[in-house]
Amino acid sequence: MRAISRLTGVSFNTVAKLLIDAGEACAAYHDEKVRNVKAVRIQCDEIWSFTYAKQKNVKTAKAAPEGAGDTWTWTAIDADSKLIVSYLVGGRDAEYANAFMADVAARLANRVQMTTDGHGAYLEAVEGAFGADVDYAQLIKIYGAAPDSAKGRYSPADCTGIKKRSVEGEPDEAHVSTSYVERQNLTMRMHMRRFTRLTNAFSKKFENHAHMVALYTVFYNFCRIHKTLRVTPAMEAGLSDTVRDMEWIAGLIDARAPKPGRPAAYKKRISN
């Protein structure tokens, strides 16, 4: 953001305000348009990042804002169209799992086969959101012991095997996979500097992190041509009939701007 401020010659606060406006516009557009998705296979996962400071350093950080610490982004992707059906930014506990799965269920038009990792919070969340109307399985990875050379680093131990566990319905074992959603995690890290490992470009505010994810999701679904599909995920899913661009996203921001002569909503300050 500071690089954009220097290159364009505008205030950093202007760039930050533009991110907020874009995030709000994109979140509203995704919420409205990504509905009644006709999917067959859904894969879900969570990707880690942090805001202001890593969780272990929050207690000693100076003036740590609300929301500082580990920040998880939940994503649900259609394995065929590669569409990001739903996302949620927050914690990794049962409360967020329930909210995430409820949103996924609300956006689907039919029964699907769902695969998640072995995170325990998914079990109750999927049951609460779908009941028996889902073919659900978990893909559990088995890790070996971390070598001494890797101890203290962020890299996990080597994956030595997987276990497929059927939880609900009759999932097809051949399609019990999280490969596409994990590849999507890499795409997120490559497209958003905030997600890069070992960087000083991490998010300083939780709200700005959420706005960036909203902007990225609409860009990925509606603007970015998938290399294999040769169309955007939204086009493949039947939610759009053309490739969008950043100018179109700017139009979403303008459409939400206050009308001329109409004051924007504000909160009165109460002085002591």
Confidence check: pLDDT of 272 > 50: no
Query: Residue 88: left (phi > 0), alpha (psi -120 to 50), or beta?
Result: beta
| Structure-token match 């364009």, residue found | 8
Q: Among 35-39, 121-125, 154-158, which stretch is predicted with the lowest mean pLDDT? A: 154-158
**3-class secondary-structure state, position 176:** coil
Distance CA 231, CA 256 (A): 27
Tell whether the model's pLDDT for residue 269 goes beyond 80: no
Residue 215: pLDDT over 90: yes
* Average pLDDT of the residues in 217-222: 97
Among 176, 228, 187, smallest CA distance to 42 is for 176
**Confidence class for position 260, pLDDT limits 50, 70, 90:** low
Structure pTM? 0.88
CA distance linking residue 14 with residue 12, whole number of Å = 5
Structural domains of the chain ordered from first start: 2-256 (3.30.420.10)
pLDDT tens, position by position, 138-179: 998 887 776 665 555 566 677 778 889 999 999 999 999 999
Angle separating helix axes 121-130 and 94-107, nearest 10 degrees: 40
Report the candidate in 173, 163, 169 with the shortest Cα–Cα distance to residue 136: 169
- At residue 118, what are phi and psi to the nearest 5 degrees? -85, 10
* Cα separation, 99 vs 16, whole angstroms: 28
